C-alpha cells in the first residue's frame, strides 16, 4: 500500500511576519555591531542601542508604510520599502540626534542593509520552491 509523503509544514501568517521582522532587525543589529567594531566604538549595550535606535525606528516605519505583515517575504513592495525606510529615516534621526552622517556612510548603509533585507527575500522563493519540489 503506497504511503503519502508528509506535508511540508507551513508557517501561519502571524508567525511568518514575526520571523521576517526578527530577521530584518537581526540584520540591522549586525550592521550596527560591525560598524561599531570597525570604528572602535565598542559593543557595549548602551552604545549599540544608541546607534541602533534610528535604524530600528526606520525599520518599523518601513514595515508600517509597506504593511509588511501582509506580504513579509515579498521583495516588492515590502523589501524595497522597508530597506529604504530603514536607511532614510535612520539617517535623518542620526542627524537630528546629533550622531551625524556622511555620504560614504549612507552608501555603506544602503549597500549592507540592502544586502540583508533584500537578499533573504530574493532567496526565499527559491528555497520554498526547492522544498516543495523535494517534498
The grid coordinates of residue 41 equal 566604538
| Tens of pLDDT, residues 27-80 | 999 999 999 999 999 999 999 999 999 999 999 999 999 999 999 999 999 999
- Residue 104 to residue 33: CA distance in whole angstroms: 18
CB 16 within 8 A of CB 72: yes
Confirm whether pTM is higher than 0.75.
Answer: yes
Write down the domain spans for the chain.
Answer: 20-134
Model pLDDT for residues 115-127, shown as the tens digit of each residue: 999 999 999 988 8
CA distance 52 to 38: 15
Which pLDDT score, from 0 to 100, does residue 114 have? Answer: 98
Amino acid at each position: 500500500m503506497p504511503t503519502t509523503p508528509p506535508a511540508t509544514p507551513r508557517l501561519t501568517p502571524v508567525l511568518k511576519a514575526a520571523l521576517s521582522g526578527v530577521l530584518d532587525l537581526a540584520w540591522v543589529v549586525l550592521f550596527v555591531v560591525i560598524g561599531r567594531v570597525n570604528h572602535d566604538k565598542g559593543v557595549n549595550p548602551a552604545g549599540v542601542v544608541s546607534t541602533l535606535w534610528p535604524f530600528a525606528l526606520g525599520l518599523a516605519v518601513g514595515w508600517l508604510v509597506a504593511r509588511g505583515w501582509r506580504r513579509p517575504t515579498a521583495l516588492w513592495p515590502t523589501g524595497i520599502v522597508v530597506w529604504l525606510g530603514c536607511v532614510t529615516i535612520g539617517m535623518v534621526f542620526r542627524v537630528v540626534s546629533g550622531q551625524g552622517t556622511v555620504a560614504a556612510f549612507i552608501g555603506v548603509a544602503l549597500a549592507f542593509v540592502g544586502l540583508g533585507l533584500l537578499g533573504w527575500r530574493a532567496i526565499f522563493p527559491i528555497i520554498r520552491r526547492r522544498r516543495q519540489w523535494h517534498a
